[in-house]
Homo-oligomer: A and B are copies of this chain.
C-alpha cells in the first residue's frame, strides 16, 4: 500500500516500482505529521500512523527543499511554505547564494516495530525565476549538471530525489525477498 492524500505521488511511485516488478495499491488518507527538524523523523511517525490506519505493509513518502543560505528553510515544512508564501516568496528571500537540496524519504512499515527508512537527495540551485508549469517547487529547482528546472525536465521522474529514494527501497525489498527465498 502507498498511503498519501496525494494521488499524483502514488501514481509516480507506482510507475517507478512497476519497473522493478513491485505492485502498489493506493491508500488515500490524511496522515499525522510531526514537527521535526529532519524528514526522517517526520517520515517515521507518519509511517506509524499509516500502519495504524491501514494495517497492511505500507509505504509513505515525505520530501522537502532545503536551501543552504536559509539554514535549511523550508525543509520539513515545504508544503506549508508553498501554500503560503509560494515560489514568489522563496525567490524574494534569495540573493546570490542559491544552492539547495531536494530530499526525499521513503518509510516502509511492514509489521510492528519494523520501520525501514530510505533517503535520497539531489543537489542543485534555485533559479532566478519560475520556469515551467508543474506544481510545487519544480519550476524553481535546477538539479546539478542541468540547465533546466525540474518542471522543464521531461525525464524528471528518472533523476528526481523521489525516484532515487523509491529505487533504494525497491533494491532493498527485492534483495530481501531473494535472501528469504534462499
Contacts and interface: CB of A to CB of B under 8 A. Distances in A.
A133 interface: no
A107 to B, nearest CB: 15
A165 to B, nearest CB: 20
A149 to B, nearest CB: 22
A81 interface: yes
A71 interface: yes
Interface string A147-175: 00000000000000000000000000000
Contacts of A6: none
Please classify the interface of chain A as helix (H, G, I), strand (E, B), loop, or mixed, using the class held by over half of its residues.
helix
Contacts of A35: 32-35, 42, 76-77, 80
Interface string A70-83: 11111111001101
Most chain B beta-carbon contacts within 10 A, residue among A37, A72, A85 = A85
* Complex A-B, nearest 3 residue pairs according to Cβ-Cβ distance, in ascending order: A73-B84, A33-B35, A71-B84
A81 B77 CA distance: 9
A70 B93 CA distance: 14
A105 to B, nearest CB: 15
Contacts of A75: 80, 84
Contacts of A93: 85, 89, 92-93
